[in-house]
Amino acid sequence: MSRSFKSHLSDDIATVTMGNRIAAIIEQGAVIYLHGDLGAGKTTFTRGIVQGFGHTGKVKSPTYTLVEPYELERANVYHFDLYRLGDPEELEYMGIRDYFSAQAICVVEWPEKGGEFIPVPDLNITLSYVGDERNIVINSASERGSVIIEKLNNLTSE
């Protein structure tokens, strides 16, 4: 059963906080696709997820390296940015399948550039600008994604 969640994010702090909430809910692994225009807040949202899993340093976009790994106590988080990917087949050469274990958290910016070399997501998240603020829409694409959204809806309705 597909579920969805929508919210308004007033600024970068609210965007990071929403990433923190998602991190707090995920119990074991997830594949998260991030959609949105350049500058829509995908990396800011990812910062919230990575910090939510315990990272205290900077979180930068892996635009040139394609992946930034964060090996943390609670989980391994891999932040992918496929914006500059020339050909999806390049992902096979870098061993992308090794990152997508059942326990890892994989956050993928620009997933449409990955083709069939990246797995189906648990969550599809779209960030969009509304003036100086953002909207976020989260849709489940798997049973695990539906559970995450159900918990998120319960958390925000309390």
Q: What is the tens place of the pLDDT at every residue in 63-76?
A: 778 899 999 988 99
The pLDDT confidence band at residue 18, using thresholds 50, 70 and 90, is very high
- From CA 13, how far away is CA 80, in angstroms rounded? 22
Domain ranges, residue 41: 4-152
| DSSP β-ladder status, 4-9 and 133-140 | antiparallel
Based on the structure, what is the number of domains in the chain? Answer: 1
The pTM of this model reads: 0.92
Residue 157 forms part of a structural domain: no
- From CA 140, how far away is CA 45, in angstroms rounded? 17
| Domain of residue 124, CATH code | 3.40.50.300
Within a 13 Å sphere around the CA of 129, how many CA atoms are in the beta-carbon half? Answer: 7
Distances in whole angstroms, Cα of residue 125 to Cα of each of 8, 103, 120, 132: 13, 20, 13, 19
Q: Tell me the three state secondary structure of residue 60.
A: coil
Residue 13 forms part of a structural domain: yes
Residue 102 forms part of a structural domain: yes
Residue 158 forms part of a structural domain: no
